[in-house]
Amino acid sequence: MSIDSLEKFKLKHWLVDPINSTITSDDGETKKLERRLIRVLQALAIAKEQTLSKEALLEEVWAGKVVSDETISVAISGLRKALGCNAKSPIFIATITGFGFRLLPKVEQIQTELSSLAADKHIVGKPKRVQFTIAASIIVIFSVVWIYFAKPKYDYNAVPQNLLANEQYAKAIFLIQQPDRESLAQGEELLASLYEQMPNDPHVINAYGKSILFQVNWQGSTTERDQVLEQAKSIFNQGYAIAPQFADLLMQLGLIAIYQSNVIMAERYLRESIQIAPKDPLSHKLYASMAIALGDTEAALHHIQVHRNLSPKEYSAENIAWVYNMSKEYDKAISELAKLKAINPNSISYHTAGLKLYENMGDEKTAYQHYRANFELVGYSEQELRAADSAFNQGGLKQLNAWLANVKKEKLNIGQYWPPISTARYHITAGEYDKAMKNLEKAVADNNNLILWLNVDPKYQPLKSNPQFQRIIKQLRLPKE
């Protein structure tokens, strides 16, 4: 039985009318509900007092849409409020912890006029009425089809001309793309003003959300960073409610999910963004990074290649080398590394890819050549270079990484990212696993998005059996190898 097949039904003293999206009490009080809430109620009613899982509810009500568990909770809360109950004293909807939700009262289905006609179509005197109903239905269906195909569809993925001609909007877009914080703040102020004037314009909402999201890298503390992300997400969700087919807005929600280390939601948002706008190169690049985090090498390589085809100026060999390195296909990674070298043999990106690759392969001598090249590129002094050479000559990469972590206490990205992730990686190579775990725990507490690749990066292999490490993997909902 599908949701749409359930017509009017009663729950205690409430008559639920899905067609008109209303609930009416026995004393005549009528409440208009959002269509989504009605559909949630229908889904629960169809379950016939059985527990309905969140997954099943998502499939029934939000099929094909990207929503979070929070969206379901908000819908359930809204229904409870409308029906007159709450989570602590449920009369209508109970939360079954760890499973889902269950409708408590018995569902009394009301036979509608149309259902009665269908059941009594052989009774004398009924055929004309049935024929009229069928004719009317055909007219309605024809009208809907005509409107759907004849009426131009609004393309949310193209900024309308009237907005492009708006000087305030144009200036704000220019400002938020500048590299300095002052310009970003000015752009946000202009967009906040526009947002007040045009609160339902998805392009204004999207731009305003970006002006806030772009501030995340300027925040000094994890708390401030989280506040910015939540504020931006709230604004983008407003836009999503208005324009669910707005690809760039979905991509921004995917980016926030990456920042918040939620690989499942990031993958879902980015996948839907690509379905809507398959020629946006950035969404393919971001999706590839999520695919590898989920252990899907084939999908990662496919989307990196699409990204490369769509944006030839952004040659993606570094990304492809990274994917092959993560999946331990080292021969293919070396081939991609050679392409990087041919483009720019003195770039940090080339040496970063090289040092990670050859370290994973166990070729310490070649790996150190790339390490040392990066030391020079980031500005190590002669004294620091001599100290690094001495550490490597005494004990290979193990001693070098011990020096980086405990003596140099490196804060720069010399090819292993930034602290605390880089510090954890130094400690792993140095064999100092307890210190490595402390830094990884800090990265988790900070919502450092680099933790998304913990389970696929060969660098973390020595920690795989550590109970703390396994708890992190479970907490992040990363797939098991």
- In this prediction, residue 228 has a pLDDT band, given cuts at 50, 70 and 90, of very high
Query: Residue 86 has what pLDDT?
Result: 76
Cβ(32)–Cβ(22) below 8 Å = yes
- Give the mean pLDDT of 221-226: 86
- Provide the pLDDT for residue 157: 66
Instruction: Count Cβ atoms within 10 A of the Cβ of residue 196 and give its class: 0-12 exposed, 13-18 middle, 19 or more buried.
Output: exposed
pLDDT for the residue numbered 150 = 41
Closest-CA residue to 229 (of 245, 246, 253): 253
pLDDT at 122: 33
Q: Is pLDDT at 243 greater than 70 in this prediction? A: yes
Q: How far apart are CA 10 and CA 25, in angstroms?
A: 9
Residue 377 vs residue 77, higher pLDDT: 377
pLDDT band for position 481 (cuts 50, 70, 90): low
> Which residue in 12, 6, 57 sits closest to 36, CA to CA?
57
| Residue 189 to residue 187: CA distance in whole angstroms | 5
**Quick one: pLDDT at residue 408?**
96
420, 442 Cβ separation under 8 angstroms: yes
| Strand intervals (E) in 241-283 | none
DSSP assignment of 149-194, as one string?
Answer: HHSPPP-TTS--HHHHT-HHHHHHHHHHTSSSHHHHHHHHHHHHHH
Q: Strands (DSSP E) along 4-145, which ranges? A: 9-11, 14-17, 22-25, 30-32, 52-53, 93-96, 100-103, 107-109
Q: What are the two backbone dihedrals, phi and then psi, of residue 153, each rounded to the nearest 5 degrees?
A: -85, 140
Mean pLDDT for the chain? 84
How does pLDDT run across 249-307, given as a tens digit for each residue?
A: 999 999 999 998 888 899 999 999 999 999 999 899 899 999 988 888 889 989 988 98
More confident residue, 151 or 330: 330
Of residues 56 and 356, the one with the higher pLDDT is 356
More confident residue, 377 or 49: 377
Query: Quick one: pLDDT band at residue 112, thresholds 50, 70, 90?
Result: very low
So what's the pLDDT on residue 422? 96
CA distance 265 to 233: 13
pLDDT score of 141: 38
Q: What percent of the chain has pLDDT over 70?
A: 85
Cβ atoms of 97 and 107 within 8 Å: the answer is no
Neighbours of 45 (CB within 10 A): 24
Q: Which of 68-77, 154-163, 320-329 has the highest mean pLDDT?
A: 320-329
Identify the band that residue 449 occupies on the pLDDT scale cut at 50, 70 and 90.
confident
Q: Are 311 and 288 in contact (CB under 8 A)?
A: no
CA–CA separation, 336 vs 331, rounded Å? 9
Omega before residue 278 within 30° of 0, cis: no
Q: For 179, phi and psi rounded to 5 degrees?
A: -80, -5
- Band of the pLDDT at 66, cuts 50, 70, 90? low
- Record the tokens describing residue 478, joined without a space: 């990363």
Alpha-carbon span 6 to 108, nearest angstrom: 11
E strands in 59-114 = 93-96, 100-103, 107-109
Four-residue CA torsion sign, 317, 319, 325, 328 = negative
Q: What is the dihedral of CA 17, 23, 27, 28, to 10 degrees?
A: -70
Architecture field, domain 3-109: Orthogonal Bundle (1.10)
Amino acid letter for position 334: I
Is the CB of residue 420 less than 8 Å from the CB of residue 454?
A: no
Q: How far is CA 350 from CA 102, 294, 336, 373, 396, in A?
A: 56, 25, 10, 10, 22
Distances from the Cα of 171 to the Cα of 129, 157, 206, 401, angstroms: 62, 20, 15, 48
Give kind and range of the element (H or E) at residue 287: helix 281-293
H runs (alpha helix) in 62-112: 69-83
Tens digit of pLDDT for each residue in 131-150? 434 444 443 333 333 333 34
- Architecture label for domain 245-475: Alpha Horseshoe (1.25)
Least confident window among 47-56, 414-423, 436-445: 47-56
Q: What is the tens place of the pLDDT at every residue in 363-409?
A: 999 999 999 999 999 999 999 999 999 999 999 999 999 999 999 99
Burial of 51 (0-12, 13-18, 19+ CB in 10 A): middle
Q: What is the pLDDT of residue 2?
A: 55
As to burial, measured by CB atoms within 10 angstroms (0-12 exposed, 13-18 middle, 19+ buried), residue 242 is: middle
Confidence grade of residue 185 (pLDDT, cut at 50, 70, 90): very high
